[in-house]
Each structure stands twice: as structure tokens, then as C-alpha cells.
Amino acid sequence: MSLCDLRDGPDPRILGCILGLGLSGCAPAAPPPPVAPLPAPPSAAPAPVPTPPDAREVPDPGGGPPRLADAETAALRERCALLEAQSFAGVHDARVAVEEGYYADPRAQPDDAAALALALKAVARPPDGMPAADHAACVPIYQKRFARLLWELEPAEDAARDAVKACQQAAASAHGTSRPEDEPGAPPGAPFCRSARPVPAGLAELPYASTVADWDTDGWGCLGFRVRATQPFQLAYTSDARSFACVARFEPRHGGPTVELRLGGELDRGALRLDKEVARRRIELLAP
């Protein structure tokens, strides 16, 4: 019989020969003593990457100018339709004013009065064909509507939403079109890139102008992702064996609890299922 004749199945002696265990003549011998696993090379086990501080969800405090009553909403639809085009232009001008003021000094106390004046200027004159009585009734409703819209405006949120959407797409691409194990920061066989350090490390550093070094880390390097503009938000990426999440946090203009936006994906029977909607919540950061 040939030593390499597998017959009805692999003979333990043959396996011993193949694996080079040094068995004399491949004769049965006592099993070798247990061998301790070799330590992983330093590059294979980087230090754990911290995730954003733990937080708990808190109720939205509400506040701000009152919302339109149902009767006022109906009046806008029934009596103020001719002013809508002008109101859109006014909201645009007001929005630009708020965003310019915010990015000039994100920590300054918000003052929406000048922006509100711009919006009201757009509807100050009645359009052709609009009865004067309707115009007089509509302007106060628009003033109330504008005040609420401006109070809810968060330039940081607009930028943060764009960032988590781009981050989600980067994570999906790294999972679906490349091999994460070939990228820095992803352990062999990992379905998703490794968790990444938040940029910046804390909300107190906002607004933050990042550098290449901030993104040249395990997780971000694997994703091939970075934010080039000054950030009014913190961005983090976390992952485990079945899911990932892109998380942005920022402080709202008018104070109150921190806002957190989350968008990610998870494996469902081997297929990657991506979140379709950005999850938004107010949080309180807990001491580490």
C-alpha cells in the first residue's frame, strides 16, 4: 500500500507526513505536546480605537417661536398662494444670511432678526392680482412662519447629514467592491473596515479644520474617506462583525442637548442592507 493512498479517508499518519510533523516512518506515535499559539505581529493587533463617548438619549426640549396653527396653514393655502413665490425668495435670502453668520463665528449667540427682516422684505409688497385685504392678512402669517423656519435652521446639521451619507457610501463601497483585508486597518476576513477615531476627538474642538493626519488612521484609511472643509460637527465611524454606523454630533445654534445623526448598514443573511433614513436624536454625553 502506498503511504499516500487515501483509500476511504485521510489516514492520520498521512496527514502527519503532509504536515511535516516529523513522525518517524509515519508510524503511529504519541500526539505532540500542545503548542502555544505564536503571538500576533504588532501590526496585526493595533491598539483599540476609542469610539465617541457613551451617551443617553434625552427628550427634545422644544421651544422657539410658535408653529402655525391649522387655520393659519389653511389661510396660506387658500388666501396667500400668490405670495408663495416671493416667500421662497425671502426664505432663500434669510437662509444665506444665517449660514454666513454661523460660519463666520459658530460660537456667537445667534441673532435671526436681520435674516427675518430679509424674508419679510420679500413679501412686503402684494403681487399683481392679490387683494389688499388678503395681503394684509397673509404677511403676519408669513412672519410667524419665517421666524419658526429660521429658528429651526441648523447649518451644522445640513453639513453633518451630507457627511454621514458620504461616509455610509464609502463603507458600502469598501464592503462590496474591495477586499477590506487588503486595506490598512481591516483585520483579515472582516466584513467592514475597522472602527475609526472620531474627528475631532471632542465637541469642544468645534469648529474643526482637520488635517490629512486625522484621516490617515486605521478605519478612515480603509474607507478612503476624509472631510476637507472646516467641520461644525464631529464625525465617527464604528463597526463590528455585522454592522457599521457613521455618526455625526454637533451643538445646536440655540443651545440645548447635543444633536446626533446616525446612518449605517448591517448584514442581513449575507447581504448588506443600508439604512435609508438618517436617525436623529438629542443626547447627553456621559462621563467616560
Query: What is the C-alpha separation between 260 and 245, in angstroms, rounded?
Result: 12
Read off the pLDDT of residues 115-173 as tens digits, 9 standing for 90 and up: 999 999 999 999 999 999 999 999 999 999 999 999 999 999 999 999 999 999 999 99
Indicate if the pLDDT at residue 79 is higher than 50. Answer: yes
Let me know if residue 209 belongs to a domain: yes
Let me know if residue 43 belongs to a domain: no
Domain that includes residue 255, residue range: 155-285
pLDDT category, 107, cuts 50, 70, 90? confident
Let me know if residue 46 belongs to a domain: no
**Averaged pLDDT of the chain:** 81
Indicate if the pLDDT at residue 228 is higher than 50. Answer: yes
Q: Which of 132, 152, 172 represents a domain boundary (last residue)?
A: 152
Total domains in the chain come to 2
Same structural domain, 181 and 244: yes
Same structural domain, 179 and 212: yes
Residues 6+ apart with CB under 8 A from 159: 229, 231, 232, 233
Read off the pLDDT of residues 16-71 as tens digits, 9 standing for 90 and up: 333 333 433 444 444 444 434 434 333 333 334 444 557 899 999 989 999 999 99
Same structural domain, 98 and 183: no
Let me know if residue 26 belongs to a domain: no
Residue pointed to by grid coordinates 457610501: 169
Let me know if residue 32 belongs to a domain: no
Same structural domain, 121 and 195: no
Read off the pLDDT of residues 93-104 as tens digits, 9 standing for 90 and up: 999 999 999 998
**Which of 175, 199, 196, 193 lies closest to 248 in space, CA to CA?**
199
H or E, element range at 73: helix 70-78
Same structural domain, 195 and 113: no
pLDDT confidence of residue 52:
54
| pTM exceeds 0.75 | no
Average pLDDT for residues 277-287, to the nearest whole number?
93
